[in-house]
Amino acid sequence: MIENSPTFKRWVREFGVAEVPKGRLKRCAVRQPSLRDLSCCGRWFPTLKRWAIVACPSGTRTSPSGTGIVRPGSIGTIETILRDVTSRFALVVGGLLTLVLSACAASAQSATFDFDTGVPALSIYQGLPVDQTVGGATAHFRASSGAYSVQTASSLGGLRLSMFSAHFQAPGNNSGSVLEIQFSEWVTNITFAFATIQVQPIENETPIRLTAYTNSAATPAVGVTNATGVYGGPTGNDSWPMGTLTFRSRVPFNLVRISVPIIVPPPTTGQAYDFCLDNITVQLAGGPSCMITASASSGDGGVTTGGGGYSVGLTASLTAQANLGYVFVNWTEGGAVVSSSASFSFVASGDRTLVANFAPIYTITTSSSPAVSGTTSGGGSYPGGSSVTVGATANTGYGFVNWTQDGSAVTNAASYTFAAAGDRSLVANFSPRLSIGISGPDTLVLAWRASANGYVLQQKGALDAGVWGGVTNPITVVGLQKQVLISPLAGPAFYRLFHP
């Protein structure tokens, strides 16, 4: 009987079995602190010739549906994750738990990303980020430090790199770039060809490093491995040291970071700081998946990356990049705004269709006339449809008149708000203020700013009758003002400054 076996008894003791009923399928209730109850089943697998513990959701009384998982290396810990179609079996082998994935929706397969046959097609010198889709799996390439672009041996000066196909990834400078690849599905192993950028015989071969993660580099690493190329490569005639890096893991991962580690203490001959790579082959873990569709709004506003098929439960990371003359506005789904950030991440749980919206950038220019008469605000670059407010502030001795565009009056309000619908050049017009004072008996002093060039002083006896005539009294400059003395006073009079 299975319940009498030492291994099963150990499992019962460590996992806290509440009940072990009779029958070929052994069920028991397991309760873990801070986690919900799970129903765990012991079952005989003829092909494996051993009993297994199957973790399944509470209340299940038939075949497992995969919401419980016992992770390797964490005896006595059960975590709940959403996997409705995939069953996970924790095999008890010598007291250790080994993870077995039984994928009902999809079988594991491999995919190779060579930058030549993926979708969309890549062009030489194309920079990151880029997406490549092969056989339904998508790899999102980005530089988390430095820069990378698509190159060929010819574009780099006729190099000999026998392990690379036509196109490959190369750094933009030799300053220690870090390449990040996020896969849309769980991966169990990865292998690729690489070349470290260094010169023989000055430098010894320098290793490169791969670190694997689940969803984010902020989480503990799944594993790390190094590999070192050999000068001459497999042909003995390659320009740089070439080699192959392979990483395998029992725990699936979907994110890798690749870099050249800094060697401590520094080698006296120096070391490489950057690398090129090509022909990346991954083994997909399989399991339920969904499709995340990302597209740009109509027009030439920008491009998106990150769309494609994702394993359920993985983090989908979408990026929107505006073209020249445009600005990113938001992500929408079914017309509803879901994010205002150009980088949008979420856990993939089902098919989604997202649209990155872009708007043209319009330039609003403001100026003052005369230039010394006042200041303006609100000019700049604005997305189409956004609200723009321009303001005019008069300097001492001046007053605001109006806003004009191409000589036509737009508004008499100093603060003017409108929706950006095209480039505009607005002029805030000001006029000098005429001040009137008394200087001694029967003498007026008329004054205005000396910087107001081109203005003449005019007068007439009544506002509603007569014609404005020029004042012929001499003009003197006192400090920052022009002054005219009117004496003696010959009756009522009205004065103004006029710009012919």
* Mean pLDDT estimate for the chain: 80
The per-residue pLDDT for range 51-61, each reduced to its tens digit, is: 344 333 333 32
The per-residue pLDDT for range 436-489, each reduced to its tens digit, is: 998 888 889 999 999 988 899 998 888 887 889 999 899 999 999 999 998 887
Per-residue pLDDT band for 108 (boundaries 50, 70, 90) equals low
Q: Where are the domains of the chain?
A: 2-102, 110-284, 320-432, 435-498
One-letter-per-residue 3-state SS of the chain: CHHHCHHHHHHHHHHCCCCCCCCCCEEEEECCCCCCCEEEEEEEECCCCEEEEEEEECCCCCCCCCCEEECCCCCCCEEECCCCCCEEEEEEECCEEEEEEECCCCCCCEEEECCCCCECCCCCCCECCEEEEECCEEEEEEEEECCEEEECCCCCCCCCCCCCCCCEEEECCCCCCEEEEEEEEEEEEEEEEEEECCCCCCCCCCEEEEEEECCCCCCCCCEEEEEECECCCCCCCCCCCEEEEEEEEEEEEEEEEEECCCCCCCCCCCCCCCEEEEEEEEEECCCCEEEEEEEECCCCCEEEECCEEEECCCEEEEEEEECCCEEEEEEEECCEEEECCCEEEEECCCCEEEEEEEEEEEEEEEEEECHHHEEEECCEEEECCCEEEEEEEECCCEEEEEEEECCEEEECCCEEEEECCCCEEEEEEEEECCEEEECCCCCEEEEEECCCCCCEEEEECECCECCCEECCCCEEEECCEEEEEECCCCCCCEEEEECC
Fold of 110-284: Jelly Rolls (2.60.120)
pLDDT above 70 (res 31): no
Rounded mean pLDDT, 236-241: 94
The per-residue pLDDT for range 367-409, each reduced to its tens digit, is: 999 999 999 999 999 999 999 999 999 999 999 999 999 999 9
pLDDT above 50 (res 101): no
Per-residue pLDDT band for 189 (boundaries 50, 70, 90) equals very high
